[in-house]
Amino acid sequence: MMLAKWDPFRDLRAVEEEFDRLVGRAFARNAWVPPLDVRETEDRFEVTVDLPGMRPEQVNVTFEDGMLNISGKREIANEEKGETWHRIERSFGTFARSIRLPQTADTEHIEATFADGVLTVSVPKLEQAKPRTIEVRTR
């Protein structure tokens, strides 16, 4: 006979994992999370979001409490009379993405551009945050 170590939280963790799996699956059917990239250069931060099939007026970009918020809604194509959809794999609906900007971001000069289904948000760095070279002098 082998003894097993008693873990009073094992069953609770199993229930939580099953709940997360089921809820995650339910949300995944209706959720659309467009992919984004965040990169940093010497003088700016740049956020790029793929939004194929959308127009600029369908996208909202806001900044509040240190967070850059990007949201919008992509509509599903209406079924016309005489049409039958056999497969719908593209995601539709509302989305929201948020990125916390560092304190070195110049949030007064954020710019957003939209071209070919790609949103690019450019956030310059504050002057004091940019790297600078210090001259070394002799005495």
92 or 51, which is more confident: 51
Three-state helix/strand/coil letters over the chain: CCCCCCCCCHHHHHHHHHHHHHHHHHHHHHCCCCCEEEEECCCEEEEEEECCCCCHHHEEEEEECCEEEEEEEECCCCCCCCCCCCCCCCCCEEEEEEEECCCCECHHHCEEEEECCEEEEEEEECHHHCCCCCCCCCC
Separation between Cα atoms, residue 127 and residue 73, nearest integer Å: 36
Taking only the tens place, the pLDDT of each residue in 11-70 is 666 666 666 566 554 454 456 889 999 999 989 999 999 999 899 999 999 999 999 999
Q: Which residue ranges form the domains of the chain, and what is each CATH number?
A: 35-76+92-129 (2.60.40.790)
Q: What is the reported pLDDT for 111?
A: 97
Rounded (10°) CA dihedral 27, 72, 48, 104: -100
pLDDT range class, residue 116, cuts 50, 70, 90? very high
49 or 85, which is more confident: 49
Q: Pairing state of beta strands 59-64 and 118-124?
A: unpaired
Q: What is the reported pLDDT for 3?
A: 62
Q: What is the reported pLDDT for 81?
A: 75
Q: Indicate the average pLDDT of the chain.
A: 83
* pTM over cut 0.75: no
Q: What is the reported pLDDT for 19?
A: 63
pLDDT range class, residue 84, cuts 50, 70, 90? confident
Q: What is the reported pLDDT for 61?
A: 97
139 pLDDT above the threshold of 80: yes
Taking only the tens place, the pLDDT of each residue in 120-134 is 999 999 987 667 788
